[in-house]
C-alpha cells in the first residue's frame, strides 16, 4: 500500500459516552441517513430498541445490523443472540461493502477509535479495501487477544482518539515502514501487557472454567488466545485497597456459540455477552475460588447440554 490512507469527510468522531441515543445522533446529523458503527443505540428508557428496528441481513441470511428511520446501525454489540459469537463490526462491514458497495456521501459516525471502529469506518468509506486480514484483526482485538500486528497497533493507539493519526500509523505498518516513536512506545507497552498476562497462572477447576489470580490487574483480553482450551476465564485481583475482589470474566475459545455470560446472572457482575467484571459494583466479597465455583455451577445449570465436548 503506497498511497496514504486519507480520512473521508463523511466520517465523524462523536463524543465518547456510555450510552448513545437516537437524539444524540440527530444532534450531529439532523436529517437524512446515518451509518452508526460499532456501538449500541439506546432509546429514552436506556434500553436497546432492537425489537423496534428492522434487521439488516446479508444475502445468505447473516445478521449485520439494524435500521430504522434513516439510521443504519452496524454493530456487533447488539443485544441479539446471533451477535453472541466471535464476530465484529468490521466483519459485518466487509460483507456489507461486498454486497452493497461503499458509503461515500452519507455520514458515518463512530464514537471510539479502537481496532474495530477504526477499520470498519475506513472500509465502509472506501479508505481501506474490504480485505479479510482486517476482519481477522478485529476478531483478534475483540475476541481472542491473539497476536496480530494490525490489532495490536490500533488497540495501542485507541486512547489517542485521533482517527487520522491511527490511519497514518496503520499505513506505515501495512507498507513495512517504521512507526513514529510515540506509536512504537505505545505498541511496546501493549506487548508488555501481553507478557504480564502470560505470567498469570491458571487452573482448570472443571468444565473448562479457568481460574487465575494475581496481585496486580492484568488486561483480560489476552487470555483467550493464551488458554485456548478454556471455556470461560475467571481472573481475580484485589479491588483497590479493600478486602474485596475485582473479578474479570471472559468467554474462552470453547464458549458455546449463542451463549451469553449475562444469562449466568452472576453477582456484582456487569458486562456484555462475552466479557465483563465486578468493577462496576465496587468488586465482590466472594473469594476468587468461590466466585469461579459459582460460575461453574451457573454454567452447568444454564448451558449444561452444551458442555459435552
DSSP state of 256: P
- Predicted confidence (pLDDT) per residue in 172-225, tens digit: 999 999 999 999 999 999 999 999 999 999 999 999 999 999 998 888 999 999
Strands 34-37 vs 71-74: parallel, antiparallel or unpaired: parallel
Q: Could you tell me the residue ranges of all domains in the chain?
A: 11-191, 200-306
User: Among 201, 226, 225, 204, which residue's Cα sits nearest to residue 214?
Assistant: 201
Per-residue pLDDT of the chain (309 residues; tens, 9 = 90+): 556 899 999 999 999 998 899 999 999 999 999 999 999 998 765 566 677 899 999 999 999 999 999 999 999 988 888 888 889 999 999 999 999 999 999 999 999 999 999 999 999 999 999 999 999 999 999 999 999 999 999 999 999 999 999 999 999 999 999 999 999 999 999 999 999 999 999 999 999 999 999 998 888 999 999 999 999 999 999 998 889 999 999 999 999 888 999 999 999 999 989 999 999 889 999 999 999 999 999 999 999 888 876
Cβ 247 vs Cβ 291: under 8 Å: yes
Model-level pTM?
A: 0.91
* Strands (DSSP E) found in 176-298: 202-204, 209-213, 232-238, 245-251, 270-271, 275-277
In the CATH hierarchy, which fold is given to the domain comprising 200-306? Diaminopimelate Epimerase; Chain A, domain 1 (3.10.310)
Say how far apart CA 253 and CA 230 lie, in whole Å.
Answer: 6
- Predicted confidence (pLDDT) per residue in 235-247, tens digit: 999 998 889 999 9
How many Å from the N-terminal Cα to the C-terminal Cα in the chain?
43
Q: What are the C-alpha distances in Å from 208 to residues 107, 164, 234, 303?
A: 44, 42, 11, 13
Amino acid at each position: 500500500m503506497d498511497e496514504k490512507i486519507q480520512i473521508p469527510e463523511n466520517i465523524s468522531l462523536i463524543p465518547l459516552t456510555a450510552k448513545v441515543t437516537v437524539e444524540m445522533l440527530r444532534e450531529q446529523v439532523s436529517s437524512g441517513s446515518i451509518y452508526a458503527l460499532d456501538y449500541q443505540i439506546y432509546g429514552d428508557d436506556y434500553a436497546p430498541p432492537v425489537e423496534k428496528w428492522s434487521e439488516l441481513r446479508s444475502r445468505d441470511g447473516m445478521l449485520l445490523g439494524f435500521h430504522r428511520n434513516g439510521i443504519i446501525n452496524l454493530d456487533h454489540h447488539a443485544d441479539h443472540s446471533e451477535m453472541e459469537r466471535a464476530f465484529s463490526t468490521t466483519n459485518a462491514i466487509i460483507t456489507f461493502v461486498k454486497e452493497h458497495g461503499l458509503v461515500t456521501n452519507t455520514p458515518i459516525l463512530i464514537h471510539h477509535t479502537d481496532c474495530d471502529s477504526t477499520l470498519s469506518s475506513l472500509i465502509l468509506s472506501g479508505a481501506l479495501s474490504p480485505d479479510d486480514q482486517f476482519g481477522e484483526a478485529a476478531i483478534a482485538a475483540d475476541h481472542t487477544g491473539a497476536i496480530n500486528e494490525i490489532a495490536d497497533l490500533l488497540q495501542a493507539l485507541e486512547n489517542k482518539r485521533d482517527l487520522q493519526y491511527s490511519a497514518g500509523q496503520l499505513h506505515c505498518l501495512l507498507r513495512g515502514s517504521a512507526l513514529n516513536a510515540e506509536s512504537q512506545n505505545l505498541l511496546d507497552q501493549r506487548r508488555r501487557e501481553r507478557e504480564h498476562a502470560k505470567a498469570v497462572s491458571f487452573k482448570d477447576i472443571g468444565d473448562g472454567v479457568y481460574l487465575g489470580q494475581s496481585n496486580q490487574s492484568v488486561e483480560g483480553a489476552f487470555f483467550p488466545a493464551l488458554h485456548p482450551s478454556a471455556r470461560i476465564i475467571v481472573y481475580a485481583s484485589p479491588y483497590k485497597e479493600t478486602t474485596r475482589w475485582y473479578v474479570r470474566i471472559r468467554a474462552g475459545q470453547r464458549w458455546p456459540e449463542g451463549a451469553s455470560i449475562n444469562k449466568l446472572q452472576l453477582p456484582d457482575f456487569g458486562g456484555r455477552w462475552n466479557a465483563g467484571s465486578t468493577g462496576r459494583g465496587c468488586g465482590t466479597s466472594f473469594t476468587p475460588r468461590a466466585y469461579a465455583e459459582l460460575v461453574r455451577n451457573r454454567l452447568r445449570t444454564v448451558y449444561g447440554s452444551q458442555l459435552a465436548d
